[in-house]
Chains A and B, each alone.
Chain A
Amino acid sequence: MPYYQTWEEFVRAAEKLYLADPMKVRVVLKYRHCDGNLCIKVTDNAVCLQYKTDQAQDVKKIEKLHGKLMRLMVSKETHSSAMETD
């Protein structure tokens, strides 16, 4: 279960995994205020991608990705058009 070192790689892998099978993939966010870190995990129960951070600047990136994936999940049209709006 590797922790990605670069945000860009994680985003690319996460989006790819989700688009492969939207119904299977889930996104898990774990926030620990006492330790001051946030961990995001994207998995389809076969592949597991994780990214961890303690930087406030990464929170915005994580939240953007989370929102993007949410929007993909609720969009009625096919995936590609929803991704272009970002």
Chain B
Amino acid sequence: MVLLENDAFLTELTRLFQKCRTSGSVVITLKKYDGRTKPVPKKGQSESFEPADNKCLLRASDGKKKISTVAYSNLLRAHIDGLKKKDKKSKSKKTKATQ
């Protein structure tokens, strides 16, 4: 699993989409992230992390390659815009087919 910076993640995600145009799927996972870097301790209270509330984890995979990034609020709009243009372009042939 490759952890990337937001811009690099966006670039790699675009590349993943392009690679999977002829076959395969792109899976994107989104989850709220509180800044934990260690697993939750079973015994004892080692609360060595301060919970952060403004981050989320984004992961993407094409079945073989996996990439991920921690996204902050200001980067998210850029990500969704990048994604939308790609999807609309490739999905437009579907609307034409059904109409």
Contacts and interface: CB of A to CB of B under 8 A. Distances in A.
Interface residues of A, number: 30
B71 A74 contact: yes
B36 to A, nearest CB: 10
B25 A55 contact: no
Contacts, number: 101
Nearest to B96: A56
A38 B32 CA distance: 22
Contacts of B87: 31, 38, 59, 63
Mostly, the A contact residues are mixed
Interface residues of B, number: 37
B92 interface: yes
B94 A55 contact: yes
Interface in B75-92: 76-77, 80, 83-84, 87-88, 90-92
30 contacts: A23-B32, A25-B31, A26-B31, A28-B27, A28-B30, A29-B29, A31-B17, A31-B25, A31-B27, A31-B28, A33-B17, A34-B21, A34-B24, A36-B93, A36-B94, A54-B98, A57-B95, A59-B91, A60-B88, A63-B83, A63-B84, A63-B87, A66-B30, A67-B76, A67-B80, A70-B71, A70-B76, A70-B80, A73-B32, A73-B33
